[in-house]
Amino acid sequence: MDRMLVVVFDNEKKAYEGEKALLQLDREGSLSVYAHAVLAKKADGTTVVLQSDDSGPIGTLLGTTWGALIGLLGGPIGAAIGAGAGLVAGSAADLKELRLGSDFIADVTKLLLPDRVAVVAEIDEDWTTPVDTRMEAIGGTVVRRSLSEVQEKIDDEHVAAMKADLAQMKAEHAKAQADRKAKIQEKINQLETKLQAQLEKSKQKREAAEREAKAKAEVLKAKAAAAKAKAK
């Protein structure tokens, strides 16, 4: 299951131990790490990205998930790293694209207090015990959330609603008196423009999701090939 993972530690040393443990779990086959970063909340409340590793084909394809989350949590510096990797980086608008929910962001920001450090990763895990036991042993607090498809459903419903409004307006236009036709047509034109924009946005999201899924499959395939070569 694809999940966003955030593990908060009291200091930088423990965070790097947590990062090492996460990558070890990846090598053991307990999970797959698609991208990860280490963030530090400074005493003045600003956040810096200490390390970011999203190498490979997945690197530029996580704009609606990992990259946007890094931007939101990392502030201007996080945004710069996200943009540099070809990712959508943090603004309030990105929250709608994260597929995580505002409560997840709230839980993370409550834990990521000044002088604390976090490991942020997008992973694929079948069960939570391996990560939880390793991170708890180091002193980390784990917050995770499965990536939701709710936003796509909302987008589809939005398109359906606009199409219904458009059909009704066209029906009214056909029956309207001459002095009303121009005003109704203006509204039809405006709604058609909005509908086309929404359809294009939905298309771009689907294409991005397809690219992301393909890239993740390539990452898993590469790991499987490496493991097979090592076993020989």
∠26-78-133 over CA atoms, to 5°?
30
Torsion 205-210-215-219 (CA) sign: positive
Mean pLDDT within 112-129: 91
The model's pTM is: 0.68
Residue 23 has pLDDT above 70, yes or no: yes
Is residue 13 within 8 Å of residue 39, measured between CB atoms?
Answer: no
What does the mean pLDDT of the chain come to? 79
Residue 111 has pLDDT above 80, yes or no: yes
Question: Per-residue confidence at 82, pLDDT binned at 50, 70, 90?
Answer: very low
Q: Which two tokens stand for residue 183?
A: 């005003």
pLDDT value of position 86: 36
Is residue 33 within 8 Å of residue 59, measured between CB atoms?
Answer: no
Mean pLDDT within 38-62: 69
Is residue 61 within 8 Å of residue 211, measured between CB atoms?
Answer: yes
